[in-house]
Amino acid sequence: MLESLTGLGLATSAGLNAYIPLMAIGLLARYSDLITLPSNWAWMENGWTLTIVAVLLAIEFVADKIPMLDHVNDVIQTFIRPTAGGLAFGAASSSETVTVTDPGSFFTSHQWVPIVVGGAISLGVHGMKAAARPVINATTVGVGAPIVSTIEDFFSVALSVLAIVFPLIVLLFVLLIFVSFGWLMRRRKRRKEEKAAAKWAAAQGYRPAP
């Protein structure tokens, strides 16, 4: 069961930033004993793989913090983040970590299942992120983009590390992400209703009391 929580955390992290969980897995596997990748996933800790992921991470780190460009980046990432989430979940489900000593037992004989599950989770989180960003940009005139993006990066790093070291706390982080998204969508709905009411009042010739 713990490997599923590890996979959940990494896949959720990939939905926020595709490259952070891949970087976390590769670096921790290469330079620590916190995670041990099986031979078929060893390419994730290869030096060339880490270099390529680091370059892509740097590009997204900048692009995601610039209004309008962040929207273009989200469109492109619609294909990349679910793939990264599937890879992260797949690696986690078959890797031995400090908390998982019997990897793969949760997905016995169905190696494709964690990859599909991870992709679906990442796609869902990516969808929430992509839907929330235009609202944030509109309500803050673009000022909120770099702030929110930095917070998302922090959550992605924290989730990636905690998913490997302390997977039980992953549920708290995932819940916080969903609660934050729900609050933002309710706020968006309320603002739309207020604007619609103001337009209706203007059309009827009403003016708000001074």
pLDDT in tens, 136-191: 777 777 677 888 889 889 989 998 998 888 877 877 877 887 787 777 777 767 76
Q: Cβ distance 156 to 77 under 8 Å?
A: no
Domain containing 44 equals: 2-203
Distance between start and end Cα atoms, the chain: 61
**208 within a domain of the structure (yes/no):** no
Which pTM was predicted?
A: 0.79
**209 within a domain of the structure (yes/no):** no
Residue 101, pLDDT score: 57
User: Which residue positions in the chain have pLDDT lower than 50?
Assistant: none
Residue 108, pLDDT score: 54
Could you give phi then psi for residue 97, rounded to 5 degrees? -120, -175
Residue 3, pLDDT score: 72
Nearest to 70 by CA among 144, 20, 158, 179: 144
Residue 197, pLDDT score: 66
CA distance 179 to 176: 5
Tell me how many domains the chain contains. 1
Residue 115, pLDDT score: 82
Exposure string (b/e) for 64-98, b if CB count within 10 Å is 16 or more?
bbebeebeebbeebeebbbbbbbbbbbbbbbbbbe
**192 within a domain of the structure (yes/no):** yes
Structure tokens at 155: 């959550």
Q: Which amino acid is at 51?
A: T
Q: DSSP class of residue 143?
A: T
Alpha-helix residue ranges (DSSP H) falling in the chain: 2-16, 19-31, 47-63, 69-93, 112-140, 144-165, 170-203
Residue 110, pLDDT score: 64
**210 within a domain of the structure (yes/no):** no
